[in-house]
Amino acid sequence: MSDKTPPPTVWPTLRATDARALIRFLVDVVGFEETAVYGEGDVVHHAELSWPPGGGIMLGSARDDGANGPTAPGACSAYLVVDEPDTLCARVRAGGAEVTMDLHDTDYGSRDFAIRDPEGNRWYFGTYRGAPRAS
């Protein structure tokens, strides 16, 4: 991200029973970039992973925050924009990811697929960048 590019303002958050393993999966298999990880031993207090085309997620180890904490481990679902879904799908398959929706073309012009990570979170990937904003 250049100095002129504003940082992402929407940060999906999730918790994991094994946050360090989830970070490795998301970085090594899916292609996120590890931006920051704070914690001790197996516990991750806070981590930030950047998605190369833009945006990112925050995650940490599961802990009891009561009703004010993020969703339970495995309850996250997110859509990530990719330029080359076929290449990414082949890469995540080779990395052992569970593909839950095979590559397909949508009626709105996107090429999509989906996976489930080891924690149970669902990740959708596609070329759809959203509807144009009103001017």
pLDDT digits (tens, 9 = 90+) for 111-135: 999 999 999 999 999 999 988 888 7
Class of domain 13-63+73-126: alpha beta
pLDDT at 3: 54
pLDDT band at 1 (very low <50, low <70, confident <90, very high): very low
pLDDT: is 90 or 63 the higher one?
90
The answer for residues whose C-beta is within 8 angstroms of residue 128's C-beta and 6 or more apart is 79, 81, 106, 108, 109, 110, 112
The CA angle 46-112-76, to the nearest 5 degrees, is 30
Annotated domain spans of the chain: 13-63+73-126
Cα distance between residue 3 and residue 101, in whole Å: 37
